[in-house]
Amino acid sequence: MRQALALSKAALGWAARFYGHHPLLVIGLSLVPTVQRFLVVRFDVATPVAVTTEVLVVLVRLLLLLLIAGLMLRELAATGIDRRAAWSRLTAGIDARPVAFWLQWVVLAAAFVVFDVIPNAVIAAAVPEASRETVTAVVVAVKNPTVIAFTFLWLVGIARTLIVAPVDDHPPVDTPADARPA
């Protein structure tokens, strides 16, 4: 459990630094889902438009995830870890700490409850019916550049931490804890 919390903490720290160094990338790409979610939740959008914009949201989120991973790999390349070595180190890191790795999904589930289930329950219980649609639209819009984007960053941060953290057959990588993400 201690390893799992250490892994979460390290990934969280890297995610926060990445967000701080790349706010335009993260917020900019998060604006597409933000606007789409607000409009679809708040207004009566035609089904073809809703479906088409949902596909766009998926593509933009995939692009954001790929760009985050690409910048992380570029950061690692600067320390001498190429993509092949990163993959080897990642799998070795998972193999060396399988419980810590799998417990990250428990942490993610807990975050889902805190940032999705509970707010939705509070809205359903406390917000008058007449305002519920607008409040839900605002909450969903706010979650896109914050909770959802940060979840992507945290997941990539888990991979990065497993790559740079020492395991038996891979020496530790000299990356300062406050290193600027690529």
**What angle do the packed helices 23-42 and 2-21 form, to 10 degrees?**
90
Per the CB < 8 A criterion, the answer to whether 49 and 39 are in contact is no
CA 12 to the chain's CA centroid = 10
Comparing 21-30, 68-77, 86-95, 162-171, the range with the smallest average pLDDT is 162-171
- DSSP string covering 70-94, please? HHHHHHHHHTT--HHHHHHHHHHHH
Which residues face 135 on adjacent strands?
none
Measured CA to CA, the distance from residue 110 to residue 16 in angstroms comes to 19
Q: What is the pLDDT of residues 133-165, one digit of tens each?
A: 999 999 988 999 999 999 999 999 999 999 998
| Percentage of the chain exceeding pLDDT 90 | 81
- Is the pLDDT higher at 175 or at 147? 147
CA 1 to the chain's CA centroid = 22
**pLDDT on residue 168:** 57
The reported pTM is 0.85
Q: What is the pLDDT of residues 21-31, one digit of tens each?
A: 999 999 999 99
